[in-house]
Amino acid sequence: METVYKVLTPEEFKNFEAEAVGYAGNQMDKKDGFIHLSLHTQVAGVLSRFYKTNLKVYVLKFEINKEKLKFEKPCHFSDETFPHIYHNQLLKSELIEVINLQRTNLEKDFSF
């Protein structure tokens, strides 16, 4: 098993909650053809890179079978590999924690 994280905006989190069994990803995931995930050590960088205009996000923590994951380098900003899920969903049964992150202004970083 591998512990991975998915960052969602409040609207994306509502969509996740509305699903009965699993979540097929947000708009970027669907456009790219896979679900973008992060390891614990990568979440802070993802927050600062992709969520700098958000005051609130949800970080979902999952325990996922390693066979479902493919680790790949992003083509544009890093040499580290990130976990991705192809042709599958994030199952609600794999969710172990929902972390609600908020900040009072955009000048501050999220604390994770």
State the pLDDT at residue 77.
66
Which domains, and CATH codes, for the chain?
Answer: 2-102 (3.20.170.20)
Structure tokens given for 91: 């199952």
Per-residue pLDDT tens, the chain, 112 aa: give them: 999 999 999 999 999 999 999 999 999 999 999 999 999 999 999 999 999 999 999 999 999 999 999 999 887 767 889 999 999 899 999 999 999 999 988 888 888 7
CB neighbour burial string for 71-91, b if at least 16 within 10 angstroms, e if fewer: eeeeeeeeeeebbbbeeeebe
How far apart CA 36 and CA 2 sit, in angstroms, is 14
State the pLDDT at residue 108.
82
Q: How many helices (H) and strands (E) does the chain have?
A: 3, 8
